[in-house]
Chains A and B, each alone.
Chain A
Amino acid sequence: AQSVSQHNHHVILSEAASLELGCNYSYGGTVNLFWYVQYPGQHLQLLLKYFSGDPLVKGIKGFEAEFIKSKFSFNLRKPSVQWSDTAEYFCAVSRGHTGGFKTIFGAGTRLFVKA
């Protein structure tokens, strides 16, 4: 079955630690890739996206992600996390199909950053 897998459901880090959240997808062909973030009590919002070009994309708040086509991966990274990064992070894949475009989300990773 086509899917989006996020490897870690819960991650706990101390401030200034480095972060890497894994995301793998199982679709072939052309896809658009996204990371969304949901801060406590806030709307789900876009963190960064990849459509084409440079496979290393930079998003808001110092986040970046690398698309590795051969590994079907789009891992999210941040060199030094802050307490304010505590949130739930969702990887998503969008692809065209009959009837339009469809986006599939991963199960999410809850990140807790200790001050």
Chain B
Amino acid sequence: DGGITQSPKYLFRKEGQNVTLSCEQNLNHDAMYWYRQDPGQGLRLIYYSQIVNDFQKGDIAEGYSVSREKKESFPLTVTSAQKNPTAFYLCASSNREYEQFFGPGTRLTVL
């Protein structure tokens, strides 16, 4: 089955720790995205990548970092610099401007 997988589903982190969220796709899509979903705020774009080895900051990139070493993978690191990291994180992929396909999400809680 083609799709997007995110792991883990739930993640707990202590303050001051970095944590990496995994996102893998087998849809052969060039573009991949990370969003943060908070109640009443919709999806806000953190980072996106249109092609391997290239990525751009979205609207709320501060405190986050990404890499795109392989077409299939786009991991997101939530660093200790992120002031309010507790949220639901969604990864998506697409072929350029077309529709996005979303993963199941990772719920991160900072203790």
* Chain A contact residues, CB within 8 Å of chain B: 6, 9, 32, 34, 36, 43-46, 49, 90, 92, 94-96, 99-108
CA distance A90 to B44 in the complex (A): 12
Chain B's closest residue to A94 (CB) is: B97
Shortest Cβ distance from residue A1 to the other chain B in the assembled complex, whole angstroms: 10
- A102 in contact with B48 (CB, 8 Å): yes
Residues of A within 8 A of B52 (CB): none
- A32 in contact with B41 (CB, 8 Å): no
Residues of A within 8 A of B50 (CB): 99-101
- A45 in contact with B43 (CB, 8 Å): no
- B99 in contact with A101 (CB, 8 Å): no
Residues of A within 8 A of B58 (CB): 102
**Which of A44, A100, A106 contacts B96, CB < 8 Å?**
A100
CA distance A102 to B61 in the complex (A): 14
The interface stretch among B12-20, B71-79, B100-108 is B100-108
- B33 in contact with A103 (CB, 8 Å): yes
Asked if B56 lies at the interface with its beta carbon under 8 angstroms from chain A, I say yes
CA distance A6 to B42 in the complex (A): 10
Residue from A6, A46, A103, A104 having most chain B Cβ neighbours under 10 A: A103
- A107 in contact with B45 (CB, 8 Å): no
